Amino acid sequence: MMVDVPDTLPERLYLLTYDVEKKRMTYRSELGYLMRAGILAELLLAGHIADATGGPVARAKTLADPLLDETLQMVAESRRRTWQHWVNKGSGAAARQVRDRLESGGWIRVERRHVLGFIPLTKVTVRDTRVVKRLAGTVASALRGAHPASRLDRRDAALAALAAAVRLRTVMPRADWRARRVRGEELAEVVAPVPWALRKAIQAAQAAAGSGG
């Protein structure tokens, strides 16, 4: 039986970071950047934004989807900024927005409590782990397949490219990611330059954390 998956890239990426064996979310420090990249890639695939000198430009006025429309409006109302800027912009809020959307859609269960009476803590559980396994299988197939990226479903190629940008170990081991580096770069062209901007944003955040900045 075919298992349904959420419609948008950020929702699919969120679920991909879930470890079905340990029953917990992973990549918490990178999750917001991944969600922002997913939103930008979704807008790019649909033609609502386009790549231009210096960064993305808006090609649509309004969208029915509030998650996507928020980013579209920010791009439309801002001066030209880099793709990396938009991956960074509102990354923390994006992770919460996608989580709440998946919770409302019944894809995940979120348990909220406070430690020591005031420190908020949330635990996310995917209700049907077959969804995660199907998404991971889609990414693995795109990366291991012999077909050119142009012959793949564009959303599947984009999903694989963004997963490759952070080498999601919930999809495949690190050694396998290294072996698929060239294929990942080929798939990245489908939503270029979003995967590159995602990688740079995460590298910059890790460097800042390492230096204490």
Question: Residue 1 pLDDT more than 80?
Answer: no
- Kindly list the domain boundaries of the chain, sorted by start residue: 9-203
The SS3 assignment for 94 reads helix
Confidence of residue 212 (pLDDT cuts 50, 70, 90): low
- Mean per-residue pLDDT, 49-59: 97
In sequence order, the β-bridge partners of residue 120 are 114
- Residue-wise pLDDT for 62-100, tens only, equals 999 999 999 999 999 999 999 999 999 999 999 999 999
Confidence at residue 147, expressed as pLDDT on a 0 to 100 scale: 78
Question: Residue 137 pLDDT more than 80?
Answer: yes
Question: Residue 200 pLDDT more than 60?
Answer: yes
Q: How far is Cα 199 from Cα 101, in angstroms, rounded to an integer?
A: 25
**Average pLDDT of the residues of the chain:** 93
pTM for this entry: 0.94
Class of residue 10 by CB neighbours under 10 A (exposed 0-12, middle 13-18, buried 19+): buried
Q: Is 187 in contact with 157 (CB distance < 8 Å)?
A: yes
Give the H or E element holding residue 159. helix 154-166
- Residue-wise pLDDT for 175-190, tens only, equals 899 899 999 999 999 9
